[in-house]
Every structure is written in C-alpha cells, then in structure tokens.
Structure 1
Amino acid sequence: MTRTAVIAGQGALAPAVIAALDAPLVYALEGFAPEGVDAQPFRLEQLVPFLDSLLDQDVSRVVFAGAIRRPRLDPELFDNRTAQLVPRIMMAMQSGDDGALRAVLDVFEEHGLQIASVAEIAPDLIPGEGVLVGQPTPSDRRDAQRAALIHATLGPLDVGQGNVVAQGQCLAIETLPGTQAMLAFAGSHAGLRPNPQGARGVFFKAPKPGQDMRIDLPTLGPDSVTQAAEAGLAGIAWQAGGVILLDRAEAVRRAEATGLFLWAMEPSGI
C-alpha cells in the first residue's frame, strides 16, 4: 500500500491537497502549520530522523503544499546525520530559495521518497488554457504579454512570480513581501499610467523559468481577485498549467462581481 505524506505550509493550498487524498499523513515545519490543519510538527535540524520515520510508516510519496519561509535553525538541535547535510544545503542556498528547495528535494529522493506535484494529486486545481470569466481587450492582452516578458527576463534572478503591467508600463514586481503587498503598491501608483482613461492594467503570475514544478507553484485564489479589483486592475492572467487556482467557483464569482477577467494564457504564447 502506497502511503502519502503532505508537508503542509501556510495558506489554503494544504487543506485543498489534503482533501484530495485518502487519509494522508500530515506534517508541518514547526511554526508553519496552516490554520485549521492537524499537522505533526518537525524541525529541519532533525530532517534525517524525520525521513526515517516516514519510511518506517511505509510512506513512499511526499507532496509539498503551502507557503514556508526559511526557518531559523538552532545549531544545538542538529543530529549528526542531518548536520552532515548543512554544508550542501548552505551552498545551494547561495543560488536562492529555488536552489535550497532543490537541495531539500534531493535529500528526500535519496531516502527513497517520491516527490509528487500538486498537479498529480489534485489536477483540477491547475486550470488549462482559456478565459475563465470576462474578456481581456486587445490592450489587456498586450499588457499581459509584456508582463510575461518581464517575468521571463527577471526569472533567473529568483525575484518573484508576478508583476503588474498597465499600458505597457510595469507598475510593480512581486518580491519577498508577496502578492498582496505588490497589488497594494500597484493600486497606490495607478496614477502613473500614461493615459488615466486607458487600459487599467493586468496582474500576471507564472512559475519562474526553470522552476521545479513539483513544489512552490504560484497560487491564486478568491483573495487575489479581491486584491486585484481593489488595485483597480482589469484582470488577472497567468501561465496555463503552471499556476494553482484555489476555490475556482468563488474566484470566478468575485471576478464577475467586480468586472475582472481571469485568463489562463497558453504557455507557448508567453
């Protein structure tokens, strides 16, 4: 029997993934458990004993779901085997969060654990190509294409997974503070658009180029729609097949109520 373990992070993704599985084991890094989820805590300083415990429980597959910020490590808590991994992980961290995540995934796989993607576990959470609601204008489509180009150019720098473009001008780029902060910034600077009566702007989201698609996929949801509407934007565009959309029915309902379009762009057009 194949058992699946969920490494749950903060936000609404972990509960959605857990609901798609049959009685998974649920764990969370200490201090990062999602609200309302009964997760067993573990510490990164005890990573190897934790992996051993998964194998002892016949776990063969692991899925990562939710946001996790880099935890503070306590040198006194490392066991001998995990301590041997520190130089390797620290070196990977020099290339950014993506490098650190890949190093951690490698450790899981070296212990015989398969890393499953959200797309495997809950494919309905990742929309395919098409407009879900509303209709982007030709100007909106040009802004979305411009945003995709900016994203692809900045991607190798491991900056973020989104940006806002209006009338060909980049109003905001997602950085460490996250999507909500970016959209608030874009809304407060909407007056910088060249034509106040012209295109209102597009929020674009996509995985970083070369990103491991098994972990840390960009996520949108109803709150993203509300925040984009509050920023005065025309809609949200994202890479089809590469972005998680939580609670699609509610996201579409809010988009209809606020007049926003939701568009999963064909990857080849990005």
Structure 2
Amino acid sequence: MIAGQGRLAPAVVAALEDPQVHALEGFAPDIPATPFRLERLVPFLDHLLDSGVTRVVFAGAVRRPRLDPEAFDPRTAQLVPRILAAMQSGDDTALRTVLDIFEESGLSVCSVSEILPDLVPGEGILTGTTSEADRRDAARAAAILRATGPLDLGQGTVVAQGLCLALETLPGTAAMLDFAARHANLRPNPEGARGVFYKAPKPGQDRRIDLPTLGPDSVTQAAAAGLAGIAWEAGGVILLDRDEAVARADAAGLFLWSMPPDA
C-alpha cells in the first residue's frame, strides 16, 4: 500500500493481511510506513517487484512534492519530462501518469472500493431529511462539478439557494467549508435554504486513486458552516467512520445523502 495522510490509510491497512506499507517522503501517515522518494521511483518499483508485490493500492492524502533535481537516479531521471509535464497539467493527469508508470513496471493497481466496498455507500439517505430546496441545491452543485471537472479544480462545492458559495481548489475541503462559513451572509434569503455541501469524483477520473473522501470531521465542518446537509455521488465517494459521521449529523441536524449519479 502507498499510504497518505488522514484516516483512510489506517482503515485500509486494517483490512489487509500482512501488507507492505510505503509512504512518499514528507507525507508520513499515522501508521508505520517505509518512506520512498519520487526522485528514486524506478528503484522503488524494482524493490516492490523483488519483494514479490504484484498489486498496489493508494490510500490517503498526498500533496505535490518538491523535487530535488540532484536526487534523481539515472533511470528515474529519464521519466522527469513525463512526470513534470503531468504535474503541470493538473492533479488528475499527474495521478494517471503515476498509475501508468506503476502498471508499466508490472504492478496492477486496485481501488480502495475493491478492498473495502462498504466504505463507498450506494444510493440512499443515511440520516436526516432533504427538502425540495435542498435537492435543488444538491442538483445544482452536481451540475457545477460536472462543468468544472475538465478544469481539474476540485471535487467539492457548496451551493445555497441555487448560488455557488464556494468551490474546492488546491487548499482542500476544510478551507472551502471555512470560506463558505465566512460568507454565509451572501445567501439571498436569510430564512431560506441553508445550503448543501456536495462531493463527487471528477468526470472521467480514474477511480482507482484519489476518490473523494468524507468523514465525521466533514460533518462537523459542514455544521459549522451552517449548512443543511452533505450530499455526494453514490458509488463514487468514500465515507469513513460511518456510524460516527451519522451520529454527528444527527446531533447537528444535518442530512447525509448518497445521491444517484444522474440526479
């Protein structure tokens, strides 16, 4: 497993039998992991193959690393133009390139949903009640992400009363929800619909890596932003610690809705 930061990596490790756990240097997860450097990617892949590894799963958050030109080994250096071009083209392109390089070396890449399918909820309302206005806001949010997906910006947005209050970009989900909280007064009707936080994969995204992830902290942040609830694309979003997320939503009076993809 290539582990990143956050709660996802520990959950996946717990479901695996005697995994090798590695992490990109500088992004250590909250579990024991052997670090590796992107500048020595080819020797790292050789090590995996020599150790008998045949399948790899990526789990957890990683930001773009700073590369040291002096640290590249000769074989990885041959990949530099390809890696740099991918990193300059956006996160989705960079991740696709990483997957391609792993698979070209002879390693297959599996998704978190293959290992823990229960982490990816199907359609349905997990808790709470959605109003007609909430459903309109969720549908508007889904349309916004479908439209911005080709721009490779982010996987989340906040919509209230039909207006986009915030769009997830490089700073991430918590920053987006904090922005929405600080601009909640922009809703046209203070007594109207409070708004919906919506998550979905980017259109055409390779779902073996970087699926959007929600959890109890997402619920707490959405409540702090004064929103009515959280919606996401069914089958395309990881929900961590479901029982705790539902409990926090109930306590805050929020709904959690796993929406049909075509809603």
TM-score interval w.r.t. the shorter chain? over 0.9
* Alignment equivalent of 1:53, drawn from 47, 51, 57: 47
The 5 Å alignment of 1:202-241 reads 202-241=196-235
> How far does residue 94 in structure 1 lie from its aligned partner after superposition?
2.9
1:25 maps to which residue? 20
1:136 aligns with 2:110: no
Residue identity matched to 2:196: V
- Normalised to the residue count of structure 2, the TM-score between the two structures is 0.99
- Normalised to the residue count of structure 1, the TM-score between the two structures is 0.96
Q: What value does the CA root-mean-square deviation take over the aligned residues?
A: 0.7
1:12 aligns with 2:31: no
1:190 maps to which residue? 184
SS in 1 for 2:164: strand
Residue identity matched to 2:24: L
1:104 aligns with 2:102: no
1:267 maps to which residue? 261
1:251 maps to which residue? 245
Residue identity matched to 1:218: P
Q: Distance in 2 between matches of 1:100 and 1:258?
A: 38
SS in 2 for 1:59: coil
Residue identity matched to 1:150: I
Residue identity matched to 1:201: G
> How far does residue 188 in structure 1 lie from its aligned partner after superposition?
1.2
Instruction: After superposition, give the CA deviation of every residue in 1:50-104 in whole Å (9 maximum; x if it has no partner).
Output: 0000011110000000011111111111111100011112222232111111111
> How far does residue 268 in structure 1 lie from its aligned partner after superposition?
2.1
1:154 aligns with 2:154: no
> How far does residue 205 in structure 1 lie from its aligned partner after superposition?
0.3
SS in 2 for 1:163: strand
SS in 1 for 2:114: helix
Between the aligned residues of both structures, percent identity stands at 75
1:42 aligns with 2:30: no
Q: Distance in 1 between matches of 2:62 and 2:174?
A: 16
Residue identity matched to 2:14: A
SS in 2 for 1:268: coil
Q: Distance in 2 between matches of 1:231 and 1:100?
A: 32
Instruction: After superposition, give the CA deviation of every residue in 1:19-65 in whole Å (9 maximum; x if it has no partner).
Output: 11111100000110112x00000000110000000011110000000
Residue-pair matches, total: 263
Residue identity matched to 1:263: W
Q: Distance in 2 between matches of 1:218 and 1:7?
A: 17
1:169 maps to which residue? 163
Residue identity matched to 1:21: L
* Alignment equivalent of 1:120, drawn from 94, 114, 117: 114
1:3 maps to which residue? none
Q: Distance in 2 between matches of 1:208 and 1:16?
A: 24
Q: Distance in 2 between matches of 1:150 and 1:60?
A: 39
Instruction: After superposition, give the CA deviation of every residue in 1:102-129 in whole Å (9 maximum; x if it has no partner).
Output: 1111110011100000010111111001
Instruction: After superposition, give the CA deviation of every residue in 1:215-245 in whole Å (9 maximum; x if it has no partner).
Output: 0010000000000001000000000000000
> How far does residue 196 in structure 1 lie from its aligned partner after superposition?
0.5
Q: Distance in 1 between matches of 2:175 and 2:93?
A: 25
Q: Distance in 1 between matches of 2:99 and 2:143?
A: 29
- 5+ unaligned residues in a row in structure 2: which ranges? none
SS in 1 for 2:148: helix
